[in-house]
Structure 1
């Protein structure tokens, strides 16, 4: 048996940038095998491939691409310690009004593809003697609402509904939870005024960075009595 076959294996979607790239790097550092799907090649992705990331290009809105991703995971590992559904699209309602197909993209990426991937790979749960985990990355704005991103938040809320149903379906072989991030990481183009306005809406007025998400994932993986739950990581939004 090769050394890599002894490593616990994770599938993370959307590893090309930001939180997904951070999660992939974090778990590579922890000694996990990481299979990561990506949409576009990035500098961060190439760096992680050099460190051991098993990258699979997959457009989650493409049925054949998702089939290919599922088959690649089945071929590469007999067991999955976790699936982290991180891939996301961020369309405004104004964009959807101009291009209605973008609404379908929201629900496909956030709901339909994750459900299909999870079901197809559920035979790999608990195959290494450890309970598996399914983790959705959703959004802390779901209970608050946003008038300009109603469909986006509706799709993320649907993902949280999946969490509760999947928790019942896959127990006790897998625990299913969600992490709902708020402000985590500013974009480089965000100006100081925008940043200060965003921070003013929180009890904890600082930009935490993606490590708070990897710590939350670590907590879920290490907590044996947690399933069907949503962990909100938003600095106490006012």
Structure 2
């Protein structure tokens, strides 16, 4: 049993989730890393407890919760980073709602007693810039992330003041792998800051929220000024 309460990170084995885990470990923070298929680079990190779970399945989430409660008496925080980016269809909408809404709801409810075991805990929902803007190309995805954003407000009110609940809404952080030059140029031009920033802005936002003294129920948007670019193009 660890004497330093860990932070649970979902979707921890790649991209933003992996970057978050690396940053936390570098600061001496123990991590419970949740992955769906294979742990990947997580195996190279120290101070990480790796647990496999399919967050789209209720029985898998139940088993995960039982395992966490068996291993730990307290949690420093939960970072809900697990995400699916699927094409529009009713089946895909249901699957994204399970991962983006049902899983955070269930884990927040079930693990609240562990979060209350420390002086100050944090829940961070990684949402998406489309949650407040909408998108005609990924309606189901944006709707599910909007539900997660609303979940932030409700849990912030319910769990204050001991547990802080905030959201981070990234715009483009990394271009699609294998995308062509035309797609990349068009995508980058959607923001005022026409760069591919990588995962650094997400990690910066996570670390800020974990150390901030006066934030709960808030949403940090990291989109390079995309919302202003939309206004100037109207």
TM band (smaller chain): over 0.9
* CA deviation map 1:151-176 (0-9, x unaligned): 11011000011100100111112010
Tell me which residue corresponds to 1:117. Answer: 107
Q: Following the alignment from structure 1 to structure 2, what is the Cα–Cα distance between the partners of residues 47 and 188?
A: 23
Give the TM-score taking structure 2 as reference length: 0.92
* 1:42 CA drift (Å): 4.7
Contact 1:7 1:31 in 2 (8 A): no
Tell me which residue corresponds to 2:4. Answer: 7
Give 1:221's match in structure 2, choosing from 192, 201, 210. 210
Q: Following the alignment from structure 2 to structure 1, what is the Cα–Cα distance between the partners of residues 62 and 131?
A: 30
Is it true that 1:25 corresponds to 2:14 in the alignment? Answer: no
Contact 1:13 1:37 in 2 (8 A): yes
Tell me which residue corresponds to 1:64. Answer: 59
Please give the residue correspondences for 1:202-213 in structure 2 after superposition, counting only pairs within 5 Å: 202-213=191-202
Give unmatched runs, 5+ long, in structure 1. Answer: none
Q: Following the alignment from structure 2 to structure 1, what is the Cα–Cα distance between the partners of residues 32 and 205?
A: 20
Give the TM-score taking structure 1 as reference length: 0.91
* 1:189 CA drift (Å): 0.8
Give 1:146's match in structure 2, choosing from 135, 140, 145. 135
* CA deviation map 1:182-236 (0-9, x unaligned): 1111233122221111111111111111111111011111112100011000111
Secondary structure in 2 matching 1:54: strand
* CA deviation map 1:128-169 (0-9, x unaligned): 32x111100000122221112111101100001110010011
Q: Following the alignment from structure 2 to structure 1, what is the Cα–Cα distance between the partners of residues 138 and 75?
A: 34
Is it true that 1:74 corresponds to 2:69 in the alignment? Answer: yes
Please give the residue correspondences for 1:163-202 in structure 2 after superposition, counting only pairs within 5 Å: 163-202=152-191
Structure 1 ranges of 4+ moved more than 4 A: none
* 1:6 CA drift (Å): 3.0
Give unmatched runs, 5+ long, in structure 2. Answer: 230-234
Contact 1:12 1:86 in 2 (8 A): yes
Is it true that 1:133 corresponds to 2:122 in the alignment? Answer: yes
Q: How many residues align?
A: 227
Q: Following the alignment from structure 1 to structure 2, what is the Cα–Cα distance between the partners of residues 142 and 122?
A: 25
Q: Following the alignment from structure 2 to structure 1, what is the Cα–Cα distance between the partners of residues 179 and 49?
A: 32
Give 1:90's match in structure 2, choosing from 85, 90, 107. 85
What's the C-alpha RMSD, in Å, of the aligned pairs?
A: 1.4
* 1:35 CA drift (Å): 0.4
* 1:127 CA drift (Å): 1.6
* 1:69 CA drift (Å): 1.1
